[in-house]
Chains A and B, each alone.
Chain A
Amino acid sequence: MDKKVSKKRITEQTVRYVAALSRIELDEAETASYKDQLSDIIGYIEQLGEVDTDNTLPTTHVLPSMKNVFREDELKESLSPDEFLGNAPEKHGNFFKVPRIIQSS
């Protein structure tokens, strides 16, 4: 398939901004590499601009009959603490343990 790429440029600043939003840290080499790759990909994606969608509704869901699903408000058995904490990287009693977020005075 043809790879016709326009020259939409993503800057390193944009890559760093998006990475920060994503909670991902990139080193300089990664930032430079993603800048080029994302520029290529977004440049290619720009071809969507050719399609006239003025009178087209967006697909909100592929199933046309899709509606919100409710269930009866019934008591059900849930996972035991051992089960839901079984994968925790760190736990304390019946809690997930994370680094301190409140400073002690």
Chain B
Amino acid sequence: MQDILSSFEHYHKWLREHEEPVAETAGFLTDRIRQIEPDIHAFIRLDKERIVCRGRSLDERSQGGALWAVPVAIKDNICIKGELTTCASHILDGFRPPYNATVIEKLLAENALLFPGANMDEFAFGSSCETSFYGPTRNPWDLSRIPGGSSGGSAASVASGEVAAALGSDTGGSIRQPAAMCGVVGFKPTYGRVSRYGLIAFASSLDQIGPITRNISDCARMLEVISGYDANDSTSVDSPVPKYTESLGKQIKGMTIGLPEEYMGEGIDEDVRRSVTESVDVLKRLGAKIIDISLPHTKYAVSCYYIIAPAEASSNLARFDGVHYGYRSPKSDDLIDMYVNSRSEGFGKEAKRRILLGTYSLSSGYYDAYYLKAQKVRTKLSQDFDRAFSECDCIVTPTAPNTAFKIGERMDDPLMMYLSDVFTIPANLAGLPAVSVPCGQDRNGMPVGLQLMARPFDEEALIKVAHAFESETAYHKMFSGGCG
């Protein structure tokens, strides 16, 4: 099955040649997923009947649409009308949204076959996909390791060949970091490029929905479908969406690519450093001009993020009180007790940690020292990028300082866990588009990711460079074998 899902093109060819009804294919795919799910646990739930029913409705329509019958896993924080959507949290038990997220409407309009319920860190809080109320996802390359987070279920489902593509959300690297650790492509679009309507909010000024795929061509196709202005999202940007697929196959000769010294310093795994250095040589061979640049405020990105993101999260999560939806504690005599008991029993450890951290930094006496300061440092970080992009077209870095670590290794050390996202967080703080592509393997055979960042709304530059790199290397063809 991994062969037919290796690219959308290949899969469509297979469907045409076999004249297999989509409903049959949907059932077949679901059965295969069920076989390997006990190992991987990329999905919180899998409802074969509903998926086959969707396949049947596609059979009743004409064979059209950019994503016709393409199996796409949906992270469990993206609303699908009538489907359970839990954010991998006990507090959203039983929640069925009464509407579709805009990205879901767009996938349905292009006749994608949706596989809801991809596992994730609770409310997207995490870098390892271990904080899900429903249990961790495992890395298809090595089941004793994490898949990366928080879109770990989405990345693992693509890496194991369960589905051809997935939607994730990226607040501090939650698409790119698991993509890197699972050896697949993960794209975070510019803030405002893809509607967040129907994405259950974590940190509203940082969140973006984006695709996870096996290669850049499929990624460009997904991006073309989900991008665009949406009146339902007040932070959506009304700017024309280029044909991203037209950036495929373009030469990168003459492009200038910046290599920031701060991303290659101490603390990086030697195998990651070697893979990235070799990848930079590939870009050089392809005719790109590599220049050294500096992003001096990078070292403050994690601190800045862990003020701003929990502050926004603590505010967004105030709505979970057991009144309108989700879990309500049965042990409450009065209203305040009901709020407290529902939240105390409904949220997991990491969610509580971030709520406490956010409430602390926003509380009286600390707002200026922490929140306001972090927003000023955020400006400094953005200014670093403005200066860098006056010299180069895009920036190349490792996606993460290390490859996938062992399950449980960092669970008792939240700060160490937070540092997993040190290289991905800056793009969220500055709102930039960024992509992770596979670029090597470490001594244990675990995938390494290469990150590319570009100016706001210049997704085309990333697709151009990433596709040129992919065409010159074979890392995207490495397969975890998770689906046998």
Chain A residues near B (Cβ < 8 Å)? 1-3, 5, 10, 14-15, 18-19, 21-26, 30, 34, 37-38, 40-42, 44-51, 53, 56-63, 65-66, 69, 71, 79, 83-84, 86-90, 96, 98-101
Pair B430/A24 contact, Cβ less than 8 Å: no
Q: Within the assembled complex, what's the spacing in Å between the Cα atoms of A84 and B95?
A: 12
Which residues of B have CB within 8 Å of A65?
237
Q: What 13 additional pairs, Cβ within 8 angstroms, besides A1-B302, A44-B306, A99-B332? A: A18-B363, A23-B321, A24-B355, A30-B352, A38-B357, A41-B414, A48-B373, A48-B377, A51-B376, A56-B376, A58-B378, A79-B99, A101-B334
Q: Within the assembled complex, what's the spacing in Å between the Cα atoms of A52 and B322?
A: 43
Pair A41/B306 contact, Cβ less than 8 Å: yes
Q: Within the assembled complex, what's the spacing in Å between the Cα atoms of A96 and B300?
A: 45
Pair B300/A1 contact, Cβ less than 8 Å: no
Which residues of B have CB within 8 Å of A56?
376, 379-380
Question: Does B266 sit at the interface, judged by CB under 8 A?
Answer: yes
Question: How many Å from the CB of A16 to the closest CB on chain B?
Answer: 10
Q: Can you list 24 A-B pairs with a CB-CB distance of less than 8 A?
A: A1-B419, A2-B267, A15-B356, A19-B356, A21-B363, A24-B340, A24-B343, A37-B414, A41-B306, A41-B418, A44-B303, A45-B306, A47-B300, A48-B370, A59-B378, A62-B191, A63-B192, A84-B98, A87-B96, A89-B322, A89-B323, A89-B326, A96-B323, A99-B332
Which residues of B have CB within 8 Å of A63?
191-192, 235, 237, 431
- Nearest first, the 4 closest Cβ-Cβ pairs linking A and B are A58-B375, A87-B325, A62-B431, A89-B328
Interface residues of B in 286-343 (CB under 8 A from A): 297, 299-300, 302-304, 306-307, 314, 321-328, 332-341, 343
Which residues of B have CB within 8 Å of A2?
266-267
Which residues of B have CB within 8 Å of A30?
352
Q: Within the assembled complex, what's the spacing in Å between the Cα atoms of A65 and B225?
A: 25
Question: Does B374 sit at the interface, judged by CB under 8 A?
Answer: yes
Which residues of A have CB within 8 Å of B336?
23
With known contacts A22-B356, A37-B414, A41-B414, A53–B300 Cβ distance under 8 A = no
Question: Does B244 sit at the interface, judged by CB under 8 A?
Answer: no
Residue of B whose beta carbon sits closest to that of A52: B380
Which listed residue, A21, A24, A61, touches B344 by the CB 8 Å rule?
A: A24
Chain B residues near A (Cβ < 8 Å)? 94-96, 98-99, 191-192, 205, 231, 234-235, 237, 266-267, 297, 299-300, 302-304, 306-307, 314, 321-328, 332-341, 343-344, 347, 352-353, 355-357, 359-360, 363, 370, 372-380, 382, 401, 414-416, 418-419, 422, 429-431
Which residues of A have CB within 8 Å of B191?
62-63
Pair B374/A48 contact, Cβ less than 8 Å: yes
Which residues of A have CB within 8 Å of B378?
58-59
Which residues of A have CB within 8 Å of B341?
25
Task: Name which of A2, A15, A41, A56 has the most chain B CB atoms within 10 A of its CB.
Answer: A41
With known contacts A24-B344, A87-B96, A101-B335, A57–B376 Cβ distance under 8 A = yes
Pair B360/A45 contact, Cβ less than 8 Å: no
Q: Within the assembled complex, what's the spacing in Å between the Cα atoms of A19 and B356?
A: 6
Q: Within the assembled complex, what's the spacing in Å between the Cα atoms of A10 and B431?
A: 32
Pair B356/A18 contact, Cβ less than 8 Å: yes
Which listed residue, A51, A62, A87, touches B94 by the CB 8 Å rule?
A: A87
Which residues of A have CB within 8 Å of B99?
79
Which residues of A have CB within 8 Å of B333?
99
Pair B415/A41 contact, Cβ less than 8 Å: yes
Q: Within the assembled complex, what's the spacing in Å between the Cα atoms of A2 and B323?
A: 43
With known contacts A34-B353, A51-B377, A89-B325, A14–B235 Cβ distance under 8 A = no
Q: Within the assembled complex, what's the spacing in Å between the Cα atoms of A39 and B339?
A: 27
Which residues of B have CB within 8 Å of A101?
334-335
Pair B324/A87 contact, Cβ less than 8 Å: yes
With known contacts A51-B300, A53-B377, A1–B401 Cβ distance under 8 A = yes
Q: Within the assembled complex, what's the spacing in Å between the Cα atoms of A41 and B98?
A: 38
Residue of B whose beta carbon sits closest to that of A86: B98
Which residues of B have CB within 8 Å of A3?
415-416, 419
With known contacts A21-B359, A63-B192, A53–B380 Cβ distance under 8 A = yes
Which residues of A have CB within 8 Å of B98?
79, 83-84, 86-87
Which residues of B have CB within 8 Å of A5?
415
Q: Within the assembled complex, what's the spacing in Å between the Cα atoms of A3 and B244?
A: 40
Q: Within the assembled complex, what's the spacing in Å between the Cα atoms of A89 and B359?
A: 26
Q: Within the assembled complex, what's the spacing in Å between the Cα atoms of A15 and B373?
A: 22
Pair A58/B376 contact, Cβ less than 8 Å: yes
Which residues of A have CB within 8 Å of B326?
87, 89
Which residues of B have CB within 8 Å of A83?
98
With known contacts A42-B360, A48-B377, A1–B303 Cβ distance under 8 A = no
Which residues of B have CB within 8 Å of A25?
340-341, 344
Residue of B whose beta carbon sits closest to that of A15: B356
Q: Within the assembled complex, what's the spacing in Å between the Cα atoms of A86 and B426?
A: 40
Q: Within the assembled complex, what's the spacing in Å between the Cα atoms of A41 and B291?
A: 35
Which residues of B have CB within 8 Å of A60?
375
Q: Within the assembled complex, what's the spacing in Å between the Cα atoms of A2 and B299?
A: 10
Question: How many Å from the CB of B314 to the closest CB on chain A?
Answer: 7
With known contacts A18-B360, A53-B380, A90–B375 Cβ distance under 8 A = no
Pair B334/A51 contact, Cβ less than 8 Å: no
Pair B205/A62 contact, Cβ less than 8 Å: yes
Q: Within the assembled complex, what's the spacing in Å between the Cα atoms of A5 and B306?
A: 14
